[in-house]
Amino acid sequence: MTLAGFCQWLQDTPWGTGIRESVWVFPIVEGTHVLALALSVGILVVIDLRLAGVLMRRQPVSQISNQLMPWSLAGFAIMFVTGALLFWSQAVKAYGSIFFRIKIALLILAGINALVFELTLRRTVADWDHDETPPFRARLAGVLGIVLWAGVIAAGRTMAYNL
């Protein structure tokens, strides 16, 4: 089965059709997807700004990160579940949308940025935890995170306009 064929099959499943055609389910799932932005990306931005040496510079990086990351991750869990349901109901439209493809590409880049940070800099955090201005690579990871997620949001929003 081709990818386009899979998308067609997916959105024709009872669940796909059900979400798409429901008066309430689609708006609720879509609304939750938008509001969970505050929890996921909104809180991540605060952590990333500390990493970039912009906010709460006197507070240890690990303290800010450890206390806020569980909330952000809970937000991302909601984003992925609601996002999957939205894709399920509109797979063909998403497949044909250049903005959806851009969104997925930026999501992957944001994931790689986070993974690289976790596997490298995170392990040395004790060395620079109290730095008001963290090392260049940590600041870069923070700024990249903000830019990539802003791109994901912009591409996701634009996708809905059928431009």
Q: Of 6, 9, 17, 38, which lies in the binding site for another protein, with binding defined by CB under 8 A?
A: 38
Measured from the Cβ of residue 21, the count of other Cβ atoms closer than 10 Å reads: 10
According to the binding rule CB under 8 A, does residue 133 interact with another protein? no
Q: Of 13, 17, 22, 67, which lies in the binding site for another protein, with binding defined by CB under 8 A?
A: 67
According to the binding rule CB under 8 A, does residue 126 interact with another protein? no
Find tokens 């949308």 and name the residue: 97
According to the binding rule CB under 8 A, does residue 163 interact with another protein? yes
Residue 149 to residue 20: CA distance in whole angstroms: 26
According to the binding rule CB under 8 A, does residue 59 interact with another protein? yes
Positions 5 through 34 that interact with another protein (CB under 8 A): 27, 30-31, 34
Residue 91 to residue 78: CA distance in whole angstroms: 19
Beta carbon of residue 55, minimum distance to another protein (angstroms, whole number): 5
HSE of 97, CA atoms in CB hemisphere, 13 A: 22
According to the binding rule CB under 8 A, does residue 158 interact with another protein? yes
Residue 18 to residue 85: CA distance in whole angstroms: 11
Choose the binding region for another protein from 4-12, 43-51, 118-126, 132-140 (rule: CB under 8 A): 43-51
Q: Of 45, 94, 107, 148, which lies in the binding site for another protein, with binding defined by CB under 8 A?
A: 45
Residue 68 to residue 47: CA distance in whole angstroms: 7
Choose the binding region for another protein from 5-13, 51-59, 108-116, 133-141 (rule: CB under 8 A): 51-59
CB 40 within 8 A of CB 153: no
